[in-house]
Structure 1
């Protein structure tokens, strides 16, 4: 089982305003690394106060951070050839697409899944499927709304869900989740 879990935090409601990106790499069913980047968004120095209230990242924290185009090649290398999973994947895939478009990068051919749909298939009837709720359900502690921590918890939840579904290979995941599989 090989995949990468990804998460973004944004500075504004604009999808290209990534101010933090986290990627958790899973190889052979084990988390091998988690990488987090603070990012100076195109809106800098403007950050919507609502977004700051959610994640706590301020313009001061990213003033010396690289822009998305400066970190993309390193991030892409971690993601290359992997299935991408995100919690509420429509949002994170949209942020990735918008950042790539903003900086004129080609979009990689990348299959992605939402860990919410994986969780719903694994644990039917839970009252909530938010990342925080699922983490609490599985006794996982983390710093919510920070990209690296959220990506790592997404990976952990996905691994637990795949185990619940008895899926041990990417081919099995593709077969079982084919209706939910999307392309970036």
Structure 2
């Protein structure tokens, strides 16, 4: 069956280590099991770029008592270790994860990841846009865009719908179809 973790970061600044929210959606046996999120106090605290705040609505006050990335990583690592990660615009989220791991001096584990944009493009070849909002609208999925838990869950739902359309029912089939696109963190 299908097992993967959909992941999404929101950032406080343009810096890759500035995660201010992390959301994950755990998919087991082709079903969403759980969606979780953590507010994170970034290294730039209390500075948040106003453009980033305009996108996600997270302010310094929201994270002033939140843990730093190094304080949540051990819990997150247990959840994602050994799983395929999927993110919408995965290069961004993988870059933030790498940036945070580097900043705090953590070992970067070998994690396979895919981009749900590429998965959706393979499933629906004629859409005008493959942005998360556009794909959600196309599938009548409503959500609170640019909050990490909501984005991660929609990424998981879009990925599951894409896999269904592509008649992919097991992780080893994902590897067969996307082997050239699976990247390692």
Q: Same fold (TM over 0.5)?
A: yes
Q: Secondary structure at the match of 1:50?
A: helix
Which residues of 2 match residues 54-133 of structure 1 at below 5 A? 54-133=55-134
Which residues of 2 match residues 13-32 of structure 1 at below 5 A? 13-32=14-33
Question: Corresponding residue for 1:50?
Answer: 51
CA RMSD of aligned residues (A): 0.4
Question: Corresponding residue for 1:160?
Answer: 161
**Aligned pairs, number:** 184
Question: Corresponding residue for 1:36?
Answer: 37
Unaligned 5+ residue runs, structure 1? none
Using the alignment, how far apart are the partners of 2:157 and 2:178 within structure 1?
18
Question: Corresponding residue for 1:178?
Answer: 179
Q: Secondary structure at the match of 1:85?
A: strand
Shift of residue 139, structure 1, vs aligned partner: 0.4
TM-score (norm 1): 0.99
Query: Is the aligned partner of 1:10 residue 2:11?
Result: yes
Q: Secondary structure at the match of 2:8?
A: strand
Using the alignment, how far apart are the partners of 2:179 and 2:130 within structure 1?
20
Using the alignment, how far apart are the partners of 1:179 and 1:130 within structure 2?
22
User: Deviations along 1:18-48, whole A, 9 cap, x unmatched?
Assistant: 0000010000000000110000000000000
Shift of residue 108, structure 1, vs aligned partner: 1.1
TM-score (norm 2): 0.99
Shift of residue 90, structure 1, vs aligned partner: 0.1
